[in-house]
Amino acid sequence: MNHRLALFLVVGWLSFCCHVRAETGAEAWLRYSSVKPPASSLPGLVAAVGNGEMVRTAGRELVRALAGKPANQGPVGALPNANAFVLGQWKDIHPLFPELNRSRAPAGNGFWLKTVRHGRAKYWLIIGGSDRGVLYGTFSLLARIAEQKEVATLNDRQTPSAPIRWVSEWDNLDGSIERGYAGRSIFFDNGAVRSDLTRAGEYARMLASIGINGCAINNVNASPRILGAEFLPQLARIADVFRPWGVKLAVSVDMSSPVAVGGLKTFDPLDAQVAEWWRKTVDAIYQKIPDFGGFVVKADSEGRSGPSQYGRNAADAANVIALALHRHGGLLMYRAFVYNHHLDWTDPKADRARAAYDYFQPLDGKLENNVVIQIKYGPIDFQVREPASPLFGAMPNTNQSIELQVTQEYTGQQRHLCFLVPMWKEILDFDMHVNGETPVKKIVSGKTWHHRIGGYNAVVNVGLDENWLGHPLAMANLYGYGRLAWNPDLSSETIADEWTRLTFGNNPQVVSTISKMLLSSWHIYEGYTGPLGIGTLTDILGPHYGPGIESSERNGWGQWHRSDEHGTGMDRTIASGTGYIGQYSPAVQKLYEPLANCPDELLLFMHHVPYPHILHSGKTVIQHIYDSHYDGAAQAENLVTQWESLHGQIDEERYSEVLKRQEYQAGHAIVWRDAVVNWFHRTSGVDDAQGRVGHNPDRVEAEDMQLSGYVPVDVTPWETASGGKAVVCKEGSCSASVRFDRKPGIYDLATQYFDQNNGISHYELFVNDHLVDSWTADDRLPSDKMNGHTSSRHTSSKNLRREDVVKIVGRSEGGEQAPLDYIEFYLSGY
């Protein structure tokens, strides 16, 4: 027989069923904990056919999942005469199974899972169209088993929706990560590639399990050093740990590299020497890394170098590099995120949302066929709600990919739960109406205009934190991204269900509770941050985390919402606004241009309206802003209750890790709520019909308490502290007290304080001089000031009687002055 056949006997099968291990989250959705008992009717033999490295990887993965140690490993002459998994490429498998002769081969990187019988033996065939297909088929079968789905009889063919299914990491060579929220880089440290790449290998395995086939490892704000000759052997080491998992290495490059590392005097893309430099540099890469994926380029954007410096355009820049890559089959992902960040705020026609279309649409048809224009899902920047970028519909002669963001830059930075799959699906399903039915997913797959390449790239930014993304539930976004890139027709519900089963097991209550939390979380987050398409009302000039309503205005960044005393929203109409809506096809223009048609959730993205404007929902805009923030914060609190219902049903480690974050989120949602409603109340002068805004009967401002040592200070921006003020303790220890004068009972006593990252504060809560609770403010929230990023809440429970004296004592270390904003009393029982 001419095909190499390696046989693994799985020993120790079932032996792991009752072993309890610490759940760190490191295994993500590859825990395989339920692969064992219900799967006991599955074979204990694995036969891998063929020589490919990924086929061997797949074989080993099966053995690992079935909790066995491989034995009798090595080449054998024939198929085992007993039940077995048999995996390999179509070309190697079908000669062994004549009954498959009349069947179609699985396409490309697709697979076919098929059960067949031979005499007394039954085989579970995992047939790949390629080596990668075998690997993907194996992970798919293992997921089915772990999700306790039917596997006794299989006949499942799957093909990935698009050829490009990449991730990007914004890792810097010094080991830091731009917009990373889970520790330092798994790839770099101290200006070099890490010596220990174990995590990089584990990451590649995780990516392969969801069908990802490429990873750009460094920040798009790229250091030119990545292309330095001394770096190449280091890159090759990363490619080596990716390769068994079918993940191609890619890097982000800086346009000025020919000067910065090549020593040339110019990086003009039309200069012959520059072209030669790119060719030589790329040749050298492929010599060391033959399966190199290609480059990602951010140019002429946010201060990066670019072709404009020489009066050239993106096509000139992309093509010169693409030609160098083309000979080796490499791709050039050129980002459409090009805009002027010195826009004139006083110009009512200026609009950042127009930029990508205005710049790239005229270049349609002028790009080499291995250039892919990588377009962020919306025209601004990863906001909590944006329309689909009009550019998707505007480049029929150009390969396109969609850029998504798993790292939650504008959506709570993995301290808030925000499952983004439903949002991504709205974009992918949105019909651009450019050539019959043309949802974004069809365009980026290349199918609409018959392009061979196209697809997906998402910024992930995993870090060295054991659980990869910080919040254990944030991993649902990475999983969901891969699943959608594989098959964008999957529903959000299916993805949430799959991820939960794989990550937390199949207990029905656990599955339904976590799925429900995930599926509601985006709307909850949107509700208390930036409803009606206004954009995430965060601090645009800072870390993009907490509220900062006005930070987006009166500057050149163009993330404006133009709210003033009369009204709110960006007028992007053709008739009176920036004309942005005119970048869409006529059918889409009809949806957005007439105020009467525009969906509520994008109203303020498309139109400027007065506060009393009535929405389709029947509410006024201003009342919607108030209501959505109160509802959103209440629902964030409810996420805590839902999570608590799982106590005892999942491991204690992940239970408490998530609980901590959900409690934090509930507190921070109140900070968001209050900042936004108070800002709009002051700006609009319109009262809340429900009388909540500006009335906090349960609240006692710190500045109104009896202070000893503490002094009142103004907080900036004012809306991020209750009443615009806090108290700080400049030296030693200080106290703030109040005499309790409410109905006696058991109270939840919430202390609102600021946890800056430039010091540590200690707080003690006393009732009548008895210490009741104490805590330390030592989190690493992203600011060294009192503001919406650092405002935090601590809740204690206490039986209180009239005349009790409630006192907070604060003591500071470092630059943080034990700041206090207010305390609040909630009656929780008698």
Residues identified as active-site = 302, 381, 409
Assign 3-class secondary structure to 520-566.
HHHHHHHHHHCHHHCCCCECCCCCCCCECCCCCCCCCCCCCCCCCCC
Residue of minimal CB distance from ligand GCW? 381
Considering the complex, state which of residue 219 and residue 792 has its C-beta at the smaller distance from ligand GCW. 219
User: Taking the complex as a whole, how short is the minimal distance between the CB of residue 25 and ligand GCW, in angstroms?
Assistant: 25
Considering the complex, state which of residue 234 and residue 407 has its C-beta at the smaller distance from ligand GCW. 407
CA 219 to CA 639: how far, in whole Å? 34
CA 375 to CA 399: how far, in whole Å? 11
Considering the complex, state which of residue 220 and residue 524 has its C-beta at the smaller distance from ligand GCW. 220
Considering the complex, state which of residue 203 and residue 382 has its C-beta at the smaller distance from ligand GCW. 382
Please report, for the chain, how many H helices and E strands are present, in that order. 18, 31
Tally the residues of the chain.
Answer: 830
CA 706 to CA 708: how far, in whole Å? 7
For binding to ligand GCW (CB under 6 A), which residues are involved? Answer: 170, 178-179, 219-221, 298, 337, 381-382, 409
3-state SS, residue 486: helix
* Alpha-carbon dihedral 747, 748, 752, 758, rounded to 10 degrees: 130
User: Taking the complex as a whole, how short is the minimal distance between the CB of residue 65 and ligand GCW, in angstroms?
Assistant: 36
CA 665 to CA 632: how far, in whole Å? 11
Amino acid at 327: R
* Alpha-carbon dihedral 259, 265, 269, 270, rounded to 10 degrees: -160
User: Taking the complex as a whole, how short is the minimal distance between the CB of residue 110 and ligand GCW, in angstroms?
Assistant: 32
* 398 closest CA partner among 322, 467, 462: 322
CA 70 to CA 58: how far, in whole Å? 13
Considering the complex, state which of residue 221 and residue 266 has its C-beta at the smaller distance from ligand GCW. 221
Residue 783 CA neighbour count, 13 Å, CB half:
20
Residue 590 CA neighbour count, 13 Å, CB half:
6
User: Taking the complex as a whole, how short is the minimal distance between the CB of residue 221 and ligand GCW, in angstroms?
Assistant: 5
User: Taking the complex as a whole, how short is the minimal distance between the CB of residue 256 and ligand GCW, in angstroms?
Assistant: 16
Q: Would you state the structure tokens that stand for residue 353, as one six-digit string?
A: 């949302």
Considering the complex, state which of residue 34 and residue 168 has its C-beta at the smaller distance from ligand GCW. 168
Considering the complex, state which of residue 180 and residue 393 has its C-beta at the smaller distance from ligand GCW. 180
CA 230 to CA 224: how far, in whole Å? 12
CA 171 to CA 235: how far, in whole Å? 14
Q: Would you state the structure tokens that stand for residue 706, as one six-digit string?
A: 């009896």
User: Taking the complex as a whole, how short is the minimal distance between the CB of residue 715 and ligand GCW, in angstroms?
Assistant: 24
Cis? peptide before 224, omega within 30° of 0: no
User: Taking the complex as a whole, how short is the minimal distance between the CB of residue 560 and ligand GCW, in angstroms?
Assistant: 16
Burial readout 416-444 (b: 16 or more C-beta within 10 A, e: otherwise): bbbbbbbbbbbbbebbbbbeeebbbbbbb
Residue with tokens 């480059």: 295
Considering the complex, state which of residue 145 and residue 356 has its C-beta at the smaller distance from ligand GCW. 356
CA 78 to CA 89: how far, in whole Å? 16
Q: Would you state the structure tokens that stand for residue 374, as one six-digit string?
A: 């990588």
Considering the complex, state which of residue 219 and residue 467 has its C-beta at the smaller distance from ligand GCW. 219
User: Taking the complex as a whole, how short is the minimal distance between the CB of residue 254 and ligand GCW, in angstroms?
Assistant: 12
Residue with tokens 């329309």: 387
CA 304 to CA 306: how far, in whole Å? 6
User: Taking the complex as a whole, how short is the minimal distance between the CB of residue 376 and ligand GCW, in angstroms?
Assistant: 7
Cis? peptide before 422, omega within 30° of 0: no
Considering the complex, state which of residue 219 and residue 787 has its C-beta at the smaller distance from ligand GCW. 219
Strands 567-568, 455-459: pairing is unpaired
